[in-house]
Chain A
Amino acid sequence: MTSKYDLTQRIAPQLDRHLVFPLLEFLQERGMYPEEDILKAKIELLNNTNMVDYAMDIHKSLYRSEDVPQEMVERRAEVVGRLKALEEAAAPLVTFLQNPNAVQELRADQQHNLRMLNDRYQIGQEQIEALYQYAKFQFECGNYSGAADYLYQYRALCTNTERSLSALWGKLAAEILMQNWDIALDELNSLKEIIDSKSFSSPMNQVQSRIWLMHWSLFIFFNHDNGRTLIIDLFNQDKYLNAIQTNAPHLLRYLATAFIVNKRRRPQFKEFIKVIQQEQCSYKDPITEFLACVYVNYDFDGAHKKMKECEEAILNDPFLGKRVEEGNFATVPLRDEFLENARLFIFETYCRIHQRIEMSVLAEKLNLNYEEAERWIVNLIRTSKLEAKIDSKTGTIVMEPNHTNVYEQLIDHTKSLSGRTYKLVSQLLEHAQPQTAR
């Protein structure tokens, strides 16, 4: 029932294996699915990683036994062996990199570095390649910080652009998993630049990369302080919006939420409403439906109902429903913000088409009691967000009519004309002079 708005199934395929764990953890916490299913899913996930110990733990808790299947034990041995081998292969370079004095010798010039490594330390392409494999293996084992470090150093030495890109993805994943949001954001931006600038072999790949990028970025944006603005800046770019519309309409939920919560990106909002309207047939969820109710159908009762569903959806979303522990009780900050802003949306639109509203009705529409509603409105009026007066005798709010005067309209229309003409004349004169001179 509660899983109705769950997007995990749609999101997971676009993520790295390791990135799915936080989602599963969240689901486990919310208890939307039977515990067993989630544990099984985890084991399934882990089967292709090298985190065998973790898998064993889960297996134990799932079947409540101390026995571990033979294959897991074998796999563990194999993983350890492989790790050893890789470590050895990468050892020269790793020791070099761990020596701070040696690292001092590295310079900005990549060619120079490579030559230097080759001449003085006998570290060639194989070792560098081994570093990459080692880092990858570390990552698969769950040692994200090690992997991140190695990948960073690998990128400094790598000459192969494909590999470098792949390393960048790995670095991003590692940073996300370590929850270093600032660094992750930097990686994200550099990755975005590469994706946008690079002439991909096929446009399909480019779109796919964008979609991956957007999915991964969800982790960052909903944890970073400035994320709510950044998500709009990223997702609302034409290229990315197109990718969303064609391949991943479920991302609209996050964009919509960001739009509702964020007050600074109003200009693009109208456009976005149109996108939502257009995509209604391919994707629906309480949040987009809420927007449709308020801005397309002007169905305020419907919007009111949707708000409740939205709350539920937000709470059950791993990205949106992030909890913040404050003392003894946890809050979901995004939910509160969302509800507040949604109310404001409804009210704004409502006021635009009414000239007199009963307070009690309004209070009910806003999910507030009478006093709260009155206080809320008074606040709005005081911050001059709303031009209205409360008629407390009849218990109504009366809107101030704000029809523009005809004369003002006329002036508006003609104001710019003189400026434009002036500019024209000067342009003409400028052009005429060289001609006469000639």
Chain B
Amino acid sequence: MGAVVGTLTLQTRQRRPSSDKVDDDLELSVVCHRPEGLEKLEAQTNFSKKELQVLYRGFKNECPSGVVNEEMFKQIYSQFFPHGDASTYAHYLFNAFDSSHNGSIKFEDFVRALSILLRGTTTEKLQWTFNLYDINRDGYINKEEMTDIVKAIYDMMGRFTYPALKTDTTKQHVDAFFQKMDKNRDGVVTLDEFILSCQEDENIMRSLQLFENVI
């Protein structure tokens, strides 16, 4: 009987810390972020008012609290790529979107990045892409960073591809990239090298125009 009583009290004691955590979560979710005014955003981005409205409605519907954290972001992005694992690339994307680097994307970050990607100049787009590739934000893309990025992209393809993925596919791809981009062969790619090399490539220039009417 004493053992029974003992186990009962043990249970109640264990429960308390978890209840604290629940309270913390509640507090977090109650905190809501409201974006800056519509006019301000319209001035800062290349979207019209209507477009911003549409974007915000969708954003707010999905994230009523006004912010997207990385978990949610990964989940959302993974839904578009069911074949493979999109979480690594989503992580890099998240970092690229999260311009204030505080672990959450607010609507302004979201819309500013979209504005660059969809309505920006080619230079801005390439700059954004460079930031995406530059994982540690030191201004240079080295081979490791590039390998990580490429590997993340290939992860999204999943296992079943045609032709089948070989072990050195990633390495070959990275090497090809560096061959093209690294002008002075110093093993890293700087922003200027990157922009210059991309502007020389017809294909890339043309493709950059493709995504303009996504919204």
Q: Do these two chains really belong together in a complex? A: no
B interface residue numbers (CB < 8 A to A)? none
A interface residue numbers (CB < 8 A to B)? none
